[in-house]
């Protein structure tokens, strides 16, 4: 059977999704009679009943269920295709989803230079730990810390990272911390991320993690750094987030031992987003900032 019009199929799809001609009519801003007419016309052309009609409700027949599964797949695909054709509705506002820790301790202090270079572009930072759904969220690009590979998006690696122990200078002096074994008498601060816990770090060094006390956990590496600066204990930190505090003396890096992280920072977005001029400018800028950071804090 050749499909000469999608109207009947679409009206059926909406009615089947809501299991209500009335709700389908409200959704499509048409009359309930129009929905009923289109569905009956489709049933006549197909030679089968698609709905079981009762006084107060409708339900799908077996053929209706089969057809609805196909219309769902087809119209979902069409909607995704149409959304990909949409041009950038706001070329002068850059919406960036970014990890809260990276935003507050690395990105925000540097954003002023982007504004000076591109004053015509407003930047909207959206701190978020979860993966961005570009199909439903109005985001231009995101900065993530992970494996560097995500479904349905293109990724551009920014930098790797490594982990080390750090604390406030006064805490080191009070606890007489000189070597890794001295951690046993200290409160350990850590992020809740799987790669940011002391068990992971100690095992990478070949140490027995069970002999160390429980850690104070924070949901966010920025909070771990803040806890260390407040002299709460010894923090397991990312170099990218703690380097400036170590240089200023607010924190002291303990020991020579450091562990490379399994994760990397990367830029992620659908391929078409990387073609937007504002995204190109941001990518170019942040890659230069990363190179400068690595040069200054090696």
Ordered by start, the domain boundaries in the chain are 7-85, 88-298
Helix axes 32-46, 7-18, angle to 10 degrees: 110
Least confident range from 31-45, 102-116, 143-157, 208-222: namely 208-222
Helix axes 7-18, 21-28, angle to 10 degrees: 120
Question: What does the pLDDT read at residue 181?
Answer: 84
On the question of a common fold for 7-85 and 88-298, the answer reads no
Mean pLDDT in residue range 261-267 = 92
CB hemisphere CA count around 212 (13 angstroms): 21
Q: Which residues of 4-36 are buried (b: 16+ CB within 10 A; e: fewer)?
A: eeeebbbbbbbbbebebbeebbeeeeeeeeebb
Least confident range from 91-95, 216-220, 245-249: namely 216-220
Mean pLDDT in residue range 34-47 = 92
Rounded to the nearest integer, the mean pLDDT of the chain is 89
User: Which of 251, 257, 156, 276 lies closest to 207 in space, CA to CA?
Assistant: 257
CATH topology of domain 7-85: Arc Repressor Mutant, subunit A (1.10.10)
State yes or no: pLDDT of 252 exceeds 90: yes
Specify whether domain 88-298 bears CATH 3.20.20.80: no
Are the CB atoms for 35 and 15 separated by under 8 Å? yes
pTM of structure: 0.69
Residue 69 in tokens:
């599964």
Burial of residue 248, with CB atoms counted within 10 A of its CB: 0-12 exposed, 13-18 middle, 19 or more buried: exposed
Pairing of strands 51-53, 58-60: antiparallel
Question: What does the pLDDT read at residue 148?
Answer: 81
């Amino acid at each position: 059977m050749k499909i000469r019009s999608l109207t009947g199929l679409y009206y059926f799809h909406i009615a089947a999704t809501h299991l209500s001609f009335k709700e389908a009519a409200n959704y499509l801003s048409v009359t309930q009679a129009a929905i009923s007419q289109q569905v009956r016309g489709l049933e006549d052309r197909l030679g089968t009943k698609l709905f079981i009609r009762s006084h107060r409700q409708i339900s799908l027949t077996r053929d209706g269920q089969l057809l609805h599964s196909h219309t769902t797949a087809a119209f979902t695909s069409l909607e995704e295709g149409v959304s990909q054709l949409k041009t950038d509705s706001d070329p002068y506002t850059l919406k960036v989803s970014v990890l809260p820790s990276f935003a507050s301790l690395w990105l925000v202090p540097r954003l002023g230079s982007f504004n000076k270079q591109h004053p015509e572009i407003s930047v909207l930072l959206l701190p978020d730990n979860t993966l961005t759904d570009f199909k439903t969220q109005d985001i231009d690009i995101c900065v993530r810390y992970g494996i560097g590979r995500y479904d349905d998006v293109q990724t551009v690696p920014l930098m790797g990272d490594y982990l080390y122990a750090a604390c406030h200078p006064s805490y080191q002096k009070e606890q007489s911390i000189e070597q890794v074994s001295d951690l046993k008498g200290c409160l350990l601060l850590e992020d809740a991320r799987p790669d940011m816990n002391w068990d992971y770090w100690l095992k990478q060094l070949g140490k027995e993690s069970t002999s160390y006390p429980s850690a104070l956990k924070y949901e966010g590496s920025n909070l771990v750094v803040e806890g260390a600066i407040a002299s709460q204990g010894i923090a397991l930190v990312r170099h990218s987030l703690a380097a400036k505090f170590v240089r200023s003396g607010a924190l002291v890096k303990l020991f020579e031992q450091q562990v490379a992280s399994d994760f990397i920072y990367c830029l992620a977005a659908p391929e078409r987003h990387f073609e937007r001029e504002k995204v190109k400018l941001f990518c170019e800028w942040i890659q230069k900032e990363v190179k400068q950071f690595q040069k200054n804090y090696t």
